[in-house]
Structure 1
């Protein structure tokens, strides 16, 4: 995936509102987890934007996101619990795009995509 253009407004929001007091990798992971915990309303429908090695989902599929994964699991990246057919699976949030969700959910996920797609890490 090619790197997206720099979005100054989004960069500032992420820096000043999400990871503002995060100085270590663990603090950064916790900051993102807490932010998403506050902003995401479950359940919401999402489309798989790309296949990823850490996930059984295929591009274009639709799932229902039912919860944010436990903070211990989100120390490397942000994961969510999603209903895929009759199974609940843990998948990277970077893989999903909300299709039926409120503005807060769409913006929070877009912020995470921006962070992830620009190669930022905890």
Structure 2
């Protein structure tokens, strides 16, 4: 399968499984949240791929991702809760790259990275 075929398959999966029947911003956010929460196997280790103003993580740091953050935190983009130093806090999923995860988790995170990277919004 070529990269173009893979991207078409990803676009189709997103359209038909994740944001299907979503008519507004809130419904698209719920679709993504539900897909990620149901598909990702928590906990997993992840590496920060870049700094973000809303996150204390620096590029290259690793953290244990323990769950999806609240749906309220994920109304504009998907946030996950990490164990970091001596506390738990939410960070953008787009900032993290999973390390040694199962194929479903890898695909789900890649789907979100694709959506976010293309500039798609809820």
TM-score (norm 2): 0.92
| Residue-by-residue CA offset, 1:60-111 (whole Å, 9 max, x unaligned) | 1110000101111111000000012222121000000100211111100000
SS of residue in 2 equivalent to 1:13: helix
Stretches of 4+ moved more than 2 A in 1? none
TM-score (norm 1): 0.92
User: In the alignment, which residue of structure 1 is the partner of 2:9?
Assistant: 9
| Residue-by-residue CA offset, 1:9-54 (whole Å, 9 max, x unaligned) | 1111111111011110000000000001100111100000111111
Count of residue pairs the alignment pairs up: 118
Structure 2, gaps ≥5 residues long: none
The separation in 2 between residues aligned to 1:24 and 1:105, in whole angstroms, is 26
The Cα RMSD (Å) is: 1.3
Q: Residue 45 in 1 paired to residue 45 in 2?
A: yes
Q: Residue 92 in 1 paired to residue 92 in 2?
A: yes
